[in-house]
A and B are shown apart, each in its own frame.
Chain A
Amino acid sequence: MPPRRDVAVITPWYPTRQTPFGGAFVRAMVAATASARDRATVYHVDGWGAHVGPRQDHAIARAHRSLLTHALRETTTVTGARLCYVPVPVRVGISFAELATRYAEALHVALDGRRIDAPVVHAHVGLRGGWTALQNARPDARVFVTEHSTFLPSVLAEPDSRAMYDEVIHRATGFFVVGETLRAILVSAFPHHADRIGIMPNPVDFGPVRSDPVTRLRRWLFVGSLSDRKGVALLLDAFARCRADEPDLTLTFVGEGRLRATLAARADALGVAEAVTFVGSVMPDRALELMREHDLLIHPSRLETFGMTVVEAVAAGMPVLVTRCGGPEETLAGIEDAAGGLIDVDDDPETIAAGYRRLRDRFPDGVDLAYARAVLADRYGYDAVAAAHRRIWFPDASDTVATVRAGLGTGDVGE
Chain B
Amino acid sequence: MRVLFLALGGNRARAAVEESAQVVAVGGRPVVLVDTLRPWRRMSFDPAVEVVELSTLESTRMPVRLERAVLFTVPRRLFRVVGRGPLRQPARRVSARYETRVAERLHRQVVLPMIRPRWGEGTCPVLRRYLAKGGDLDAIVVLDPASMPYAAGLVAGYRSAGTRPPRLAFGIDHLLSLRDSG
What residues make up the interface of A, taking CB atoms closer than 8 Å to B?
Answer: 16-19, 48-50, 52-53, 55-56, 58-60, 62-64, 66-67, 70-76, 85, 87, 89-90
Contact = CB atoms under 8 A, between A and B. Distances in A.
A76 B177 CA distance: 8
A72 B179 CA distance: 12
Nearest to A47: B145
Contact of A56 (B18, B19, B116, B177): B116
What range describes how many residues of B lie at the interface?
A: 35 or more
Contacts of B173: 17, 75
Chain A residues touching B, majority SS: mixed
Nearest to B172: A17
B149 A63 contact: yes
B170 A71 contact: yes
25 contacts: A16-B171, A17-B171, A17-B172, A18-B12, A18-B15, A53-B113, A56-B117, A59-B120, A60-B146, A62-B149, A63-B149, A63-B153, A64-B145, A64-B148, A66-B152, A70-B165, A70-B168, A72-B168, A73-B170, A74-B177, A76-B177, A85-B171, A85-B174, A87-B170, A89-B145
B7 to A, nearest CB: 11
Interface of B: 9, 11-12, 14-15, 18-19, 113-114, 116-118, 120-121, 142, 144-146, 148-149, 151-153, 155, 165, 167-175, 177-178
Given A64-B145, A70-B168, A75 B152 contact: no
A89 B168 contact: no
B170 A63 contact: no
A72 B175 CA distance: 7
A63 B169 contact: no
A67 B144 CA distance: 12
Given A59-B118, A67-B155, A85-B174, 19 more contacts: A16-B171, A17-B172, A18-B14, A48-B11, A48-B12, A49-B11, A52-B113, A52-B145, A55-B113, A55-B117, A56-B113, A56-B116, A59-B121, A60-B148, A63-B153, A67-B148, A67-B152, A72-B168, A74-B174
